């Protein structure tokens, strides 16, 4: 279930990264911030999978897992042969690391939201700067012509 959320966020990150621009209300976030947000949203999936795999491989089974292995089944042995008992298989408790994927995904969302908040700017910022520059140059021309 949570893997679907991670895949959806990774797909959204790829879209944001390739478009290079996205809007939040009346403001927009452009490159390089939009690409950074896309990288953060995309990178959370392989990072969560890698950490989950490493934790799964290095996790030692606990005593509860050894008790839940079940009874030992001895295969048929011909008479006169020594009885060979296979070692019990120990079931791993996969729910011990349930918090890893949500933690990584939430951290990625918080990082993306923070970078987005930093990179948000009004669409008309460039137009405002151009208007101020034109007004300043007109004042400078009037001062130069009147002196």
Successive 10-residue mean pLDDT values, the chain, 147 residues? 91 94 85 92 94 84 55 68 66 73 94 90 62 79 71
Instruction: Provide the residue count of the chain.
Output: 147
Instruction: State whether the Cα torsion 130-132-138-141 is positive or negative.
Output: negative
Structure tokens at 46: 């392989």
Q: Measured between alpha carbons, how far is 79 from 138 in angstroms, rounded to an integer?
A: 109
In 3D space, the residue among 111, 14, 97, 18 whose CA is nearest the CA of residue 54 turns out to be 97
Q: Are strands 121-122 and 27-30 parallel, antiparallel or unpaired?
A: antiparallel
Q: What is the pLDDT of residue 83?
A: 67
């Amino acid at each position: 279930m949570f893997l679907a959320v991670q895949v959806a966020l990774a797909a959204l990150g790829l879209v944001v990264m390739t478009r290079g621009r996205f809007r939040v209300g009346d403001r927009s976030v452009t490159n390089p911030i939009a690409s950074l947000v896309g990288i953060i949203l995309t990178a959370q999936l392989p990072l969560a999978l890698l950490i989950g795999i490493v934790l799964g491989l290095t996790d030692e089974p606990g005593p509860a897992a050894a008790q839940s292995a079940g009874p030992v089944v001895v295969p048929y042995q011909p008479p006169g042969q020594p009885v060979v008992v296979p070692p019990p298989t120990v079931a791993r408790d996969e729910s011990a690391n349930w918090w890893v994927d949500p933690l990584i995904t939430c951290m990625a969302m918080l990082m993306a939201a923070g970078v987005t908040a930093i990179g948000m700017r009004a669409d008309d910022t460039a137009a405002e700067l151009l208007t101020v520059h034109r007004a300043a140059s007109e004042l400078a021309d009037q001062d130069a012509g009147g002196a």
